[in-house]
Structure 1
Amino acid sequence: MDQEHRLSRIFYPRSVAVVGAKRENNYSWLRRALRFPGPIYNVNIDKTEWAGAEALGIKSYASLVDIPEPVDFVSVTVPANVTPFVMQDCIDKGVIGVQMFTSGFSETGSELGIELEEKIRKMAVDSGILLVGPNCLGIYNPDTGFGDGREEWEAGHIGFISQSGIAANSFMAEAEDNGVPISKVVSMGNGIVLDSSDYLDYFEQDEQTRVVGMFLEGIRDGRAFYASLKKTAARKPVLVWKVGETEDSARATASHSGSTVGSQQVYEGLLTQCGAVKVDSAKEIIDTATILLNVPAMSGLNLGLYSISGGRATQMANYFSKQGFKIPLLSEISQVPMKEQYESPMINYNNPIESTSFNRLEEFAANVLDGLDQAEEIDAIVHEWSPQIGPTESEDAVLREARLATMLSFAQRATKPYVVIIAERYPEAPADVLSDISKRLLDAGVPVIDGVERGAKALRNAYQYLSFRADVGTE
């Protein structure tokens, strides 16, 4: 972490206060700070709310200025008409940063909401307070425990910037479930002081963040966004999911976060110029990040596909070729090493490779993977696997473990990028089994994606960024 960055102290504050926590929401904003290692203060003018905070071990005060110690960062959850008074207390107290959950500002379209937003914006700008929001869930940082009260919270390498609170919460959970947890998340809401470009600047220098994802409804300052995006994408992947692409969607974004939507053509051109990658869902960000966190480079578009059956092989070829990849026929020279081990009229080594009859033979699977790794025509290997559906201690479990061992062994000696696709099928293996498989492969540096279509999109996105980095010569 670069301590000199101006946003460092809102991601790593030394003390925090929560203004407006209430019994009716089970003191949720205080609970979100319970794992924070530094001092935590509850601020509420209503002293009947103090007992609940003190039951959590948090001391209460009627005002921020009553707290004798310094306060770095403040979470505000009070009615909109009260926020200017809280902001003044923050100014008087010398607070560094504020995150404001409160809504009811410009996103309402009302004259009063717009006036209140401009008032708190001006107060923050004139005083130098770093304001996150309003109309947001604010900052989540596993390093400090701030933002989520759970005891176990693993830090990962994906930073996420979101104009939607629910999108931020959902993304954190889904990324963690897929084995690629977040480094930090910002739910930025209306972004009237700190905008998406400010958070991009921070993530650009944050060493823990290796991939940046964004959910945007609009861009307030196009020049600042362009400069920050270009600088960040030169160092690490930036995956941008932007809504508001249609007239109806644009209207909805204006009423949610007050964002205005510009030309879609201009936006897509901006991403291309900066080297950022356009995506269309949280899943696509997670899938693409999974590959980018495990595949440092790709030399070309030629894929070697290994599938579980003939029908699945044709589907793989269809999906990947639609995304711009090539599925080249393997030359006789490339097929020789594989044929020397297993040759049968029932085996097609042309690419894609499949053989239902030999699928249970681990020697055959290892032979195919090694053959693709040695083939000069191939730049990367995509292996579709359908784990047997039986529970632990069943015969299926024995077969599952054998194939997984083969794949993990190959991953250690592979010289080309190796991506595993979990086949879409019904019924599928139990969720705990699939989770264990994904974890073990990811721990070995093998990206795992659910479904061929998702895998094809994610690999295309990853290749797009890796090619950009190679072209600009960025280390």
Structure 2
Amino acid sequence: MTWTFEEMDRMFHPRVVAVVGDKKDRDYMWLRSVSTLKGKVYSVQVNPEEAANIVAMGFPNYSSLLDIPEPVDYVIVAVPRHVAPRVLEDAIRKGVNGVMFFTAGFAETGEPEGIRLQQVLTDMARKARMKIVGPNCMGLFNPRWGLRHSPEQYYDDGGPVGFISQSGTHATFFSLVGYQHGVKISKSASMGNGIILHADDYLDYLGQDPQTQVIAMYLEGVPNARRLFHLMQEIGQRKPIVVWKGGQTSEGARAVQSHTASLAASTALWQAAVRQANALWADSFDETLDLVKALCFLKEPVGPRLGLVAMTGGQSVVITDAFAKAGLQVPLLTPRSYQELATFYSTIGGSYRNPMDMTPTSRNLDMVRRVLDILARDDNIDAICYEFNMGFSAREGMVERLVDLLGEFREAYPRPFLCVLSAVHREAEAVGVRQALAQRGVPAYPSFQRAGNAFRKVWDYYRERRERGATRPAPAPAGPVRPG
């Protein structure tokens, strides 16, 4: 089955949500998650004690979906697996648009009863043409609509990143950790076993979604690989796609089978398909986040030559090694740049060959801006990476002023500009600084190695796009995120 954009979009924008089976030992997680919905929320719970608690929380409760006095768009199901078919039957009779099964214990168990029950749900849904998210998943996240699958997720404001995941944990963590890095979600789907809606269905939807400009996927195995890769090739002409494949080893493939009952194809086959689609391959959660961050905030790279600015001599060596090992170049500057630097830059305790060792001048923001401007004019430099060392910014107001300076420079500089945020003993403060930099369009990485790797992969991606004649994706807007 395939679905229209309108059919999928209604599920991501439900006017009425029903939560079936939420209870105290789960701390009423699902009701609390959708309490921010821009619409109505109903509960379905037959246990009198649970129902009383739910009503006390302010949610109307009914003993059946069929008793809810208005049409329901989206149902969240958290009941034992043997009850799931009865809930789906009621949802079909009610004319519900989509059903999400948090309920687990189906084919992923390998047990005959779990396999049988999953087939029952599949047959019922196909016959009724009912959209099923899951089972064994966390469902949908649309922050702008207040549709969440964790009470910790933000709401009211979203971003440009669509995320598709066969893991509920990865879907939740990507939204929460991404938020700490200034990366905001447009729409996210945790699909679990994916008996009706598969990765290709969500990709098709996000490819058409005007709020989504970058797409990332965590996949373990897909039933419709041909359609998925065709969509990747087509959508990838307009929107960057990052693929993180789970189960890359024989041991990991075995874990995939017990996690979502997926059959994992060979890693080499996946890598070849991703490369052919001109998507970006990621090997981990961190690399997925790093690449998405670069795609959201970096201006399009035009070359691999970096101007590097570090706060100490030791750091200047380490950042150079990191970027060189990533396959990037750290060239000497032009004679004109050296002449300009020589008029004010002290080499006592510092150096300005490239990398720039800013030890003598790191606390002088006027000097920082002069150095950045010289690098920006240098014909040997295609991009700039600046080490934002919070240990050198301890004076009151220094961090805020430096964030403003770097944001203003990023706006003026026509090429990519990124930071490495060295927090060391001030990690708690680093979250706010990363977010502030992201709001100014500056991606901040936690290490030189991660910054170098992300830039190299994104540079390769854009270079190959140009060679293939693909269109340039629209730049992602930066904006504040409201925590939920």
TM-score range, shorter chain: over 0.9
| 1:448 corresponds to | 444
Q: Which is worse superposed, 215-224 or 147-156? A: 147-156
2:180–2:432 Cα contact (<8 Å) kept: no
Cα deviation, residue 29, structure 1: 1.8
1:25-424 matches, cutoff 5 A: 25-147=26-148, 148-149=150-151, 153=155, 154-342=157-345, 344=347, 348-388=351-391, 396-397=395-396, 399-401=398-400, 403-423=402-422
Per-residue CA deviations over 1:363-400 (Å, capped at 9, x if unaligned) read 33222211110111111011112122676xxxx33554
Cα distance change, pair 258–343 in 1 and its aligned pair in 2 (3 A):
same
Alpha-carbon distance, 1:181 to partner = 2.2
CA-to-aligned-CA distance 1:157-214 (integer Å, 9 cap, x gap): 2221111111222111101111222222211100111011111111111122222121
| RMSD (CA atoms) | 2.2
Report how far residue 12 of structure 1 moved: 0.7
Distance in 2, matches of 1:27 and 1:344, equals 62
Amino acid at match of 2:410: A
2:464 maps to 1:431: no
The equivalent of 2:481 in structure 1 is none
Question: How many Å separate the matches in 1 of 2:384 and 2:140?
Answer: 38
Structure 1 residue 267: Cα displacement: 0.3
SS of 1:102's partner is coil
SS of residue matched to 2:297: coil
- What SS does the aligned partner of 1:304 have? strand
Report the secondary structure of 1:439's partner residue.
helix
CA distance in 1, matches of 2:58, 2:16: 15
- Give the whole-Å Cα distance in 1 for the aligned partners of 2:51 and 2:173: 31
Counterpart-to-counterpart distance in 2, 1:105 and 1:338: 66
The verdict on how the C-alpha distance between 1:347 and 1:139 changes in structure 2, with shifts beyond 3 A counting, is same
Cα gap change, 1:416/1:15 in structure 2, threshold over 3 Å: closer, same or farther?
A: same
Kept in 2, the 8 Å contact 1:389–1:429? The answer is no
| Alpha-carbon separation, structure 2, partners of 1:292 and 1:306 | 22
AA of the residue aligned to 2:68: I
Q: Which residue of 1 aligns with 2:478?
A: none
Identify the residue that residue 480 of structure 2 maps to in structure 1. Answer: none
Measured in 2, the distance between the counterparts of 1:143 and 1:408 equals 26
How far did residue 141 of structure 1 move? 1.4
Cα deviation, 1:314-373, whole Å, max 9, x if unaligned, reads 211211122121111223134233223436476543321214233333333222211110
List per-residue Cα deviations over 1:142-167 (Å, max 9, x = no partner): 12212244695242222211111112
Q: Which residue of 1 aligns with 2:464?
A: 468
Contact 2:45 2:61 survives alignment (8 Å): yes
**Using a 3 Å threshold, how does the CA distance of structure 1 residues 274 and 404 change in structure 2: closer, same or farther?**
same
Aligned partners of 1:321 and 1:164: how far apart in 2?
Answer: 34
Consecutive unaligned residues in structure 1, runs of 5 or more: none
- 3-state DSSP class of the match of 1:290? helix
Q: Deviations over 1:2-30 (max 9, x none)?
A: 99433111101121111112233232222
What is the SS of the residue equivalent to 2:352? coil
Secondary structure of 1:183's partner?
Answer: strand
Structure 2: any 5+ residue segments left out of the alignment?
A: 473-484
Q: Say which SS state the counterpart of residue 95 (structure 1) adopts.
A: coil
Moved more, 258-267 or 46-55: 46-55
**Contact residue 335 and residue 371 of structure 1 kept, 8 A:** no
**Structure 1 residue 10 and structure 2 residue 6: aligned?**
no
Give the aligned length: 467
Q: Is the 8 A contact 2:299 2:414 kept in 1?
A: no
- Which whole-Å CA distance do the structure 1 matches of 2:207 and 2:418 have between them? 27
Give 1:34's aligned amino acid: S
Q: Relative to structure 1, is the Cα distance of residues 346 and 47 closer, same or farther in structure 2, using a 3 angstrom cutoff?
A: closer
Q: Could you tell me whether the CA contact under 8 Å between 1:130 and 1:193 is conserved in 2?
A: yes
Return the alpha-carbon distance in structure 2 between the equivalents of residues 78 and 344 of structure 1.
69
With CA pairs under 8 Å and 6+ residues apart, which has the higher RCO, 1 or 2?
2
User: Partner of 2:476 in structure 1?
Assistant: none
More divergent stretch after superposition (146-155 vs 85-94): 146-155
Regions of 4+ moved over 6 Å: none
Distance 1:403 1:136 in 2: 42
Q: Which amino acid aligns with 1:461?
A: K
CA drift of 1:46 comes to 3.3
After superposition, the Cα gap between the structure-2 partners of 1:252 and 1:51, relative to the gap in structure 1 and judged at 3 Å, is same
Change (3 A) 1:296 1:6: farther
Query: Which AA in structure 1 matches 2:295?
Result: L
Distance 2:50 2:346 in 1: 77
- Decide whether the 8 Å contact of 1:189 with 1:257 is kept in 2: yes
Q: Is the 8 A contact 2:153 2:176 kept in 1?
A: no
How far residue 294 of structure 1 moved from its aligned partner, in angstroms, is 1.6
State how far apart, in whole Å, the 2-side matches of 1:401 and 1:24 are. 44
Q: Distance in 2 between matches of 1:373 and 1:388?
A: 25
More deviation, 78-87/256-265:
78-87
The CA deviation at 1:268 is: 0.1
Deviation at 1:135, TM superposition (A): 0.4
Do 2:153 and 2:175's aligned partners in 1 also have CA atoms closer than 8 Å? Answer: no
